[in-house]
Structure 1
Amino acid sequence: MILPQYMYDSPVKLFVLDFGLFKVHSNGRVIGICGYLIETRTGRRILVDTGFPAKYAYDIAKASEEDNLGDFGEVIALTEANLPAGQLACIGLSPADIDCLVMTHTHIDHVGGIADFPRAPLVIGAEERSLPRPLYWKGGQPLEWPDVETIVVSKDLDLFPGVRLLTTPGHSPGHLSLLVSLPNTGQVLLTADAISRPAEIEGRFAGSWNEEMAIESAERILRIAKSCNAFVIYGHSPEQWPTLRKAPQFYD
């Protein structure tokens, strides 16, 4: 399936968006919360993920208590500048400029702004969308599915030429990763949380929603990356995060 309006389009820029920093209590690991903006040759913009809910930018302590987030970790840096609108603004864009929203999955650090783009079709894994509500966090599932045009993905497909969606269940039921082909950088694999960091591979994805599926998905997308010599961007790698170009810089 290729969206008809994108039939003759292709990606030309990939922006890495900085949605804040999070500290995992069990090991003290500090991770970046990232999203992406893909800009096409014809000027269309595809947003990938939306970070934490906006309430974290205004009162981290209160928001964390509401969501019972403290059992896992803490948001240590998140302001209005780290919300989707703030990250888009540093590129000279606004939420109204988004033509399509891709959700890799619906955990709290990715799904926070899912309802903030009412004119943009939502692209999401079929198993994820089949849930009664977005996964959010174990403290509760306060979000509802937005009333927007929704495209569900049940198998690998090309969203449009140069952007391939890969079904990578394991971290969550309907997780998606993306393979983006850029003019100069070449192939870029956005693993999202299918592989949050290389150490997760050695740990055999312990604690995942489905560890066996997570292992299979990770091995498969790494084979794809190797076959096309892709630059791999992990979902939450403490080592890689400081080295990535962040918006307004981009990969092309």
Structure 2
Amino acid sequence: MTTRIHHLDCGTMHPFGAPGGRLMPRRMVAHCLLVERADGLVLVDSGFGTGDLADKARLGRPFLALVRPDLAAEQTAVAQLAALGHAPEDVTDVVLTHLDVDHAGGIGDFPHARIHVTAAEHRAAMEPATLLEKRRYIQAQWAHGPRWEVHEAGGDDWFGFTGVRAVGDDVVLIPLRGHTRGHAGVAVRTPDGGWILHAGDSYFWRGELETPPSYNFGMVGFQKLMAVHEKERRTNQERLRELRAGHPEVTVFSAHDAPELDALR
């Protein structure tokens, strides 16, 4: 049972083209969750880790030039947990929306934790089939040999989505294919009985889930560039828009929208 949820920024970024906020947002974040449960801590996404700070080159020059992350030690998940009085071994599970560099970089800081991911995403990262997949996944981030918990498709209904229970009944993987081959959202039941849905990179700009939607066109272009299945990405984004409009008991947010993180903190 969830007792408390912390919203963390595990990687502030300042995208190229951000001045004025017309082409790209001035500030993006790596929005992660620390979920306190009766039987241990669960981390949802892990942002950048200490290994990324120690070897920035492994992130790749194009990524560093385009995204311009702070890569600050105090922003790593392991440092923020320490500030809250927790040790790395207190984290029993890390549930990932996907294995892109800014989501999986911190898993090496929690070597005792089970790392949950969809089977399709695990296959994409371990056996990349396209040039895009070969470039986006950083094998060094899991060179320590994580304790993978790989979840196949299928499961129970969750507000019209197929949900796969990752950690008990209150942390659920929601397949949202499009951005990557096995991209997922992570739903967490809140202490008051509602839900929050970390939608990962299903959308990047808060206006995309408004009714009617609004867009930051730089972000639209970036999402199309990075999408493995663009049609499915747009379909799932529409489903998330309907979820937000029809179910006020579910709070939906993305991995990178800074105002969403600021509001939830």
TM-score, normalised to structure 2's length?
0.76
Give the C-alpha shift of residue 192 in structure 1. Answer: 1.4
Corresponding residue of 1:211: 230
Q: For 2:3, which of 12, 16, 21 is the aligned residue?
A: 12
CA offset digits 1:89-113 (Å, max 9, x no partner): 1221111101111111111111112
CA offset digits 1:48-102 (Å, max 9, x no partner): 11112425545xxx72586112442211x33221112101112211111011111
Corresponding residue of 2:178: 170
CA contact (8 A) 1:34 1:235 kept: yes
**2:108 equivalent to 1:100:** no
Corresponding residue of 2:45: 49
Q: Quick one: percent identity of the two aligned structures? A: 22
**2:122 equivalent to 1:123:** no
1:134 and 1:80 map into 2 onto residues whose CA distance is: 31
Higher helix share: 2
1:151 and 1:72 map into 2 onto residues whose CA distance is: 31
Letter in 2 for 1:232: V
Letter in 2 for 1:158: R
Which of structures 1 and 2 has the larger relative contact order (alpha carbons within 8 angstroms, sep 6+)? 1
Quickly say closer, same or farther: Cα 1:132–1:161, change in 2 above 3 A.
closer
Quickly say closer, same or farther: Cα 1:80–1:213, change in 2 above 3 A.
same
Higher strand share: 1
Structure 2: where are the runs of 5+ without partners?
A: 18-22, 155-162, 210-214
Q: For 1:110, which of 89, 103, 115 is the aligned residue?
A: 103
Give the C-alpha shift of residue 240 in structure 1. Answer: 2.2
Quickly say closer, same or farther: Cα 1:153–1:231, change in 2 above 3 A.
same
**2:219 equivalent to 1:221:** no
2:111 and 2:7 map into 1 onto residues whose CA distance is: 22
CA contact (8 A) 2:97 2:199 kept: no
Quickly say closer, same or farther: Cα 1:147–1:55, change in 2 above 3 A.
closer
Give the C-alpha shift of residue 28 in structure 1. Answer: 4.4
**2:83 equivalent to 1:74:** no
Quickly say closer, same or farther: Cα 1:153–1:113, change in 2 above 3 A.
farther
Query: How well do the aligned residues superpose, as a CA RMSD in angstroms?
Result: 2.7
Give the C-alpha shift of residue 237 in structure 1. Answer: 1.1
CA contact (8 A) 1:121 1:151 kept: no
CA contact (8 A) 1:180 1:187 kept: yes
Q: Secondary structure of 2:239's match?
A: helix
CA offset digits 1:125-172 (Å, max 9, x no partner): 111101253988837734246342423242322332222220011111
1:137 and 1:24 map into 2 onto residues whose CA distance is: 22
Corresponding residue of 2:192: 184
Letter in 2 for 1:16: H
Letter in 1 for 2:230: E
Structure 1: where are the runs of 5+ without partners?
A: 1-9, 246-252
